[in-house]
Amino acid sequence: MAAVDIVGVRKAFGATEVIHGVDIAIADGQFVVLVGPSGCGKSTLLRMLAGLESITDGTISIDGKVVNLVPPKERDIAMVFQNYALYPHMSVFDNMGFSLKLRGAPKAEIDRRVKEAAAILDLDRLLERFPRQLSGGQRQRVAMGRAIVRDPKVFLFDEPLSNLDAKLRVAMRTEIRALHQRLRSTTVYVTHDQIEAMTMADKIVVMHDGRVEQIGEPLELYDRPDNLFVAGFIGSPAMNFLPGRIEAGAGPRFVSDGGVSLPLVAPPGGVGSGIDGRPVVLGVRPEHLHLADEGAAAEVLVVEPTGSEIQVFTKLGGADVMAVFRERHRFRPGDRIRVAPLPGQIHLFDAESGRRLVP
Amino acid sequence: MTDATPQRATEPGVARDGPARRGRGGDEGEGMDYLVSLPRRVVTVYLPLLVFLFVLLFPFYWMVITTFKSNEELYDFKDFSPFWVVHPTLHNLHKLFFETHYPIWLWNTMVVSVVATFLSLFCAVCAGYAIERLRFKGSRLVGMAIFLAYLVPPSILFIPLSTMVFSYGLFDSKFALILTYPTFLIPFCTWLLMGYFRSIPYELEECALIDGATRLQILVKIILPLAVPGLISAGIFAFTLSWNEFIYALTFISSTTNKTVPVGVVTELVEGDVYHWGSLMAGALMGSLPVAVLYSFFVEYYVSSMTGAVKE
């Protein structure tokens, strides 16, 4: 186990820079999830950590030692690939024991460690099988077993669940999380699925276009997103955004471009002076909208009950706004309802920079 | 077609769908459904296949019957039909094996083909893997250059090669052939193996790198075991090309005991304008059997390397 430090790391393929200076500190034993849309550079960063891509600038250190020029096999890391990368011509046992065999470990030790890992992952009965004879979930477990056997300093996961069906994905999510709680090993996990990130991570790193947008604990990102990108990316269904401006006065209000006017409940002291007329984007999560007589009028477009809640798509002052209710309202398309954000549950972002404005 | 009935019986889908579709007046079926009716299948599938088979196999048949014909039967079209044997004889085979150097030619061909094949496969594996996976500067260019070397016809290449063979003192020895055959075998095998290596997922190698394997270990323990079908088909190709090679063997070998089968048969069994057809055909038959046997053993690997990629 070890801490991992990524400092000012850049990556360029030819003249195209894809990672523009990334700093991430990962503590010993932490489960960190790199999340972002495809092409944001998260996988490239993971591959640089693994030693499969060179580092253009900056440093990566594992356990206090800079590993920029250290080949993968000397970094003491284990990686689980998206398509598992099991060796098709080797049995499960040989797949799991391959790294130990290469290191020249005695046969008895290979046997013991493979069986230990197989017991943890419930693979005991599959050791003689070949990868083609396994189901997707079993392959996934073998890939993890291969990593566990090595007892590495750092575990790396590259979208390991994206090839599984939805139900299995949820089950494996829990399994990986439970495994981490048991082994307490430093883990870096790459995914594009923000639900995976939210449910598994100790710490989430949101990446976008080769930059880190925000680093924090899952709920911190959910409650206080630093910018519009994080606000829109974290949370499902996604946050609603209403562009508009602030009107200062006795009670400062937010007035959207579509004419919706909402009181800013929180004291606007932090917003700073000169806020009057400032263009902003107001963000409010669907679950933070409630029915209120004093709220803004919205027209119901589509109603989607999921069982535990009802998702209602509405038109609010010209903008598409979604609301989620846990109560079983019987709305019909065309109904007019009045909704308002819960007190203290709105987010204000600067319209130009996208940065969060306090509160 | 009598053989159509059992075939349909073994294909329940076809047998079940057939009458139903026809019952609906169904010439409007989609895709391959037009194969359902027997007359159509005869015209579109079996007839062309038969013609094709006839063209391919008739020379082989001719070779076989000529081998077992006596000279009287061979030259007398009036009393004997040219299309089958009335009094089969082993005379031609006996003459071939006991009155010529044919067994030595067979041995020579075998040695030259096997050694040239393994030499070429070794070089092709190294070259193909390096070009496909090491991503060094100019790897594509090297790949193209190797391919261009393959395009130079042997009928031109044998002139400079013969100069080299002479100056190295290799003329009229097996080495003359073992070292010149790779000039066309390596480019061919390299290109075939490059395509095969490309089909092996990159992640397997990266995973092995992280597992602690060196490049050589990756090649030997991961890539080669997965490339076995590709290696086999490249090997068969190389072996066949060497086995049948004519121009280099004709140019670089002069003494009777050093000749290979294709050259020996043509140069020793044709005396002036006298063709010993019986022995010639026997020589050709015996010469083509090893290759045919080789193909029949490995045909599955051979097909899979042409059609399929590595599956996990």
High-pLDDT (> 90) share of chain A, %: 70
Identity of the amino acid at B301: Y
The last residue of a domain, from among A232, A265, A294 = A232
Question: Mean pLDDT throughout A287-299?
Answer: 90
Type and span of the H or E element at A181: helix A166-183
Closest to A88 (Cβ–Cβ): which among B206, B210, B312?
Answer: B312
List the CATH number of the domain containing A349.
2.40.50.140
**Co-location of A247 and A194 in the same domain:** no
Question: Mean pLDDT throughout A216-231?
Answer: 94
**Co-location of A152 and A9 in the same domain:** yes
CA distance B211 to chain A (A): 5
List the CATH number of the domain containing A165.
3.40.50.300
For residue B235, the tally of other CB atoms under 10 A from its CB is 21
Residue in B206, B213, B208 with CA at minimum distance from that of residue A102: B213
Question: Mean pLDDT throughout A189-210?
Answer: 94
**Co-location of A16 and A55 in the same domain:** yes
- pTM attached to this predicted model: 0.79
Q: What tens digit of pLDDT does each residue of B169-200 get?
A: 999 999 999 999 999 999 999 999 998 899 89
Length of chain A as a residue count = 359
Domains of chain B and any CATH numbers: 94-307 (1.10.3720.10)
Determine the residue among B211, B214, B218 to mutate to test chain A binding: the one whose Cβ has the most chain A Cβ atoms within 10 Å. Answer: B211
Report chain A residues whose CB lies below 8 A from the CB of B204: 85, 87
Task: Say what the pLDDT of residue A268 is.
Answer: 47
Which A residues, 97 through 136, put their C-beta within 8 Å of a C-beta on chain B? Answer: 98-99, 102-103, 131-132
Q: Is B213 on the interface with A (CB under 8 A)?
A: yes
Identify the three-state secondary structure at position A77: strand
pLDDT at A134 over 60: yes
| Chain A nearest-CA residue for B213 | A102
d(CA A225, CA A203): 14
| Chain B nearest-CA residue for A85 | B204
**Co-location of A156 and A223 in the same domain:** yes
Report chain B residues whose CB lies below 8 A from the CB of A88: 226, 310-312
High-pLDDT (> 70) share of chain B, %: 86
pLDDT at A150 over 50: yes
**A68-72, A167-171, A252-256, A297-301: segment of lowest average pLDDT:** A252-256
Task: Say what the pLDDT of residue B84 is.
Answer: 86
* Contact between B109 and B248 (Cβ < 8 Å): no
Is B312 close to A79, i.e. CB distance below 8 A? no
**Co-location of A59 and A153 in the same domain:** yes
* Contact between A92 and A142 (Cβ < 8 Å): yes
Q: Is A13 on the interface with B (CB under 8 A)?
A: no
**Co-location of A274 and A204 in the same domain:** no
d(CA A296, CA A337): 8
| Chain B nearest-CA residue for A155 | B210
Question: Mean pLDDT throughout A105-121?
Answer: 93
**Co-location of A63 and A172 in the same domain:** yes
- Indicate the number of domains in chain A: 2
For residue A70, the tally of other CB atoms under 10 A from its CB is 14
Q: Share the mean pLDDT of chain A.
A: 90
**Co-location of A227 and A267 in the same domain:** no
Question: Any idea of the CA torsion for B294, B298, B299, B300, to the nearest 10 degrees?
Answer: 170
Provide the pLDDT confidence category of residue A1 given band limits of 50, 70 and 90. low
Q: Is A72 on the interface with B (CB under 8 A)?
A: yes
**Co-location of A178 and A109 in the same domain:** yes
Is B210 close to A88, i.e. CB distance below 8 A? no
**Co-location of A188 and A284 in the same domain:** no
Task: Say what the pLDDT of residue A258 is.
Answer: 84
The last residue of a domain, from among A179, A214, A232 = A232
Task: Say what the pLDDT of residue B27 is.
Answer: 47
Provide the pLDDT confidence category of residue A79 given band limits of 50, 70 and 90. very high
For residue B303, the tally of other CB atoms under 10 A from its CB is 12
**Residue B214 φ then ψ, to 5°:** -85, 170
Task: Say what the pLDDT of residue B2 is.
Answer: 39
CB–CB contacts below 8 A, A to B: 61
Task: Say what the pLDDT of residue B12 is.
Answer: 41
The answer, yes or no, to whether ipTM is higher than 0.85 is no
Task: Say what the pLDDT of residue A274 is.
Answer: 57
Q: At what angle do helices B261-268 and B102-133 cross, to 10 degrees?
A: 140
Closest to B212 (Cβ–Cβ): which among A73, A81, A132?
Answer: A73
Q: Is B249 on the interface with A (CB under 8 A)?
A: no
CA distance A85 to chain B (A): 5
Q: What tens digit of pLDDT does each residue of B237-287 get?
A: 899 999 999 999 999 999 999 999 999 999 988 888 888 899 999 999 999
Task: Say what the pLDDT of residue B186 is.
Answer: 94
Closest to A102 (Cβ–Cβ): which among B211, B310, B312?
Answer: B211
Q: Is A208 on the interface with B (CB under 8 A)?
A: no
Query: What are the distances in angstroms from CA A323 to CA A218, A257, A288, A308, A312?
Result: 22, 19, 8, 14, 5
Provide the domain limits for residue A269. 237-357
Identity of the amino acid at B283: G
**Co-location of A289 and A148 in the same domain:** no
Question: Mean pLDDT throughout A250-268?
Answer: 76
Is A52 close to B311, i.e. CB distance below 8 A? no
Closest to B310 (Cβ–Cβ): which among A82, A88, A98?
Answer: A88
Is A88 close to B226, i.e. CB distance below 8 A? yes
d(CA A16, CA A288): 41
d(CA A46, CA A267): 42
Provide the pLDDT confidence category of residue A12 given band limits of 50, 70 and 90. very high
d(CA B165, CA A334): 92
Closest to A72 (Cβ–Cβ): which among B204, B210, B312?
Answer: B210
The rounded average pLDDT for each run of 10 residues, N- to C-terminus, in chain B (312 residues) is 40 41 47 76 90 94 92 86 88 91 94 96 95 87 88 88 94 94 92 90 92 92 90 90 93 93 91 88 91 83 62 44
**Co-location of A226 and A274 in the same domain:** no
Question: Mean pLDDT throughout A67-80?
Answer: 93
Identity of the amino acid at A49: L
- Label the pairing between strands A203-208 and A31-35: parallel
